[in-house]
Amino acid sequence: MSVLDFAKIASRPASNEESEPAPAAAGSFARPLSRARIVDAATRLIARRGDHRIPWPAIAVEAGGEPFGAAPDWLDDLPDLIDQCYARTAQALADSLLRAETAPGNALDKLAAFLVAALEARRELGTLLSFRRGRNLPEALQRRLHERDMMVRTRLKRLLEQGRRDGSLARRNPDSACELILASLMVPDVAVTDPEQLIWDSELVELLLAALAEPHPPESRTDALPRG
């Protein structure tokens, strides 16, 4: 499968778009919100607000429920909810890395597989949180975020190093290349699933692959000389 094929796959909708039930209409009897739906709603609020202080009414409305309903008992522990939000991002990226590591082809093909899978997960979850935005969280939770961040970066840099060895990727600094990829995936805006978003995701895959695969052109001596 070619890199262009991977880029085309990025335009496919998330796997659960058709299976996700629509929010209940206002005033109608609504089922209790599932844990996954609550966690995803809280994740989107953290990404949108840049703040981990998320009240239950805001979460309920974001999840498609009523703001005046009672919060589930397990929501009493806010740090646990926040941990679950970041755990969803960590699992999505781990699954995407596994798809890349087991994909056929060279490192460029594997990187394309990672980007496609990560963007599909971002559309499904609504956003991917950055693990480096938890400075105001309890110390134990900060340590878990650091561990997840290191796990993702270590595996991603291993993939980039493989590309340098097989010649499919340019000899970029792996830390800088890793930062570029994750910064492109962990944007604060919430991703929505519509035709325009699918086009943006497909173009993002192509742009990132081009930036990481093509070496900088050598600087000519005339260009290097100062101009008078």
Query: For all residues of the chain together, what is the average pLDDT?
Result: 82
The answer on pLDDT for 124 being more than 70 is: yes
Token reading at 26: 């206002």
- Kindly tell me the sign of the dihedral angle through the C-alpha atoms of 53, 145, 141, 137: negative
Closest CA to 39 of 24, 54, 51: 54
Which stretch of 33-42, 100-109, 188-197 has the lowest confidence by average pLDDT?
188-197
The answer on pLDDT for 25 being more than 70 is: no
pTM (two decimals): 0.78
Predicted pLDDT of residue 66? 76
Mean pLDDT of 120-144: 91
Closest CA to 115 of 51, 200, 194: 200
**Contact call for residues 208 and 179 (beta carbons, < 8 A):** no
Q: Which domains does the chain have, with CATH numbers?
A: 3-13+76-215 (1.10.357.10)
The answer on pLDDT for 32 being more than 90 is: no
Can you point out the beta strands (E) in the chain?
none
- Kindly tell me the sign of the dihedral angle through the C-alpha atoms of 10, 117, 52, 27: positive
| Residues 161-203 pLDDT 10s | 999 899 999 888 889 999 999 999 998 777 677 788 889 999 9
Distance CA 45, CA 157 (A): 30
Predicted pLDDT of residue 21? 43
Distance CA 22, CA 107 (A): 39
- Kindly tell me the sign of the dihedral angle through the C-alpha atoms of 155, 156, 157, 160: positive
The three-point CA angle 69-74-77 to 5° equals: 105
Predicted pLDDT of residue 7? 46
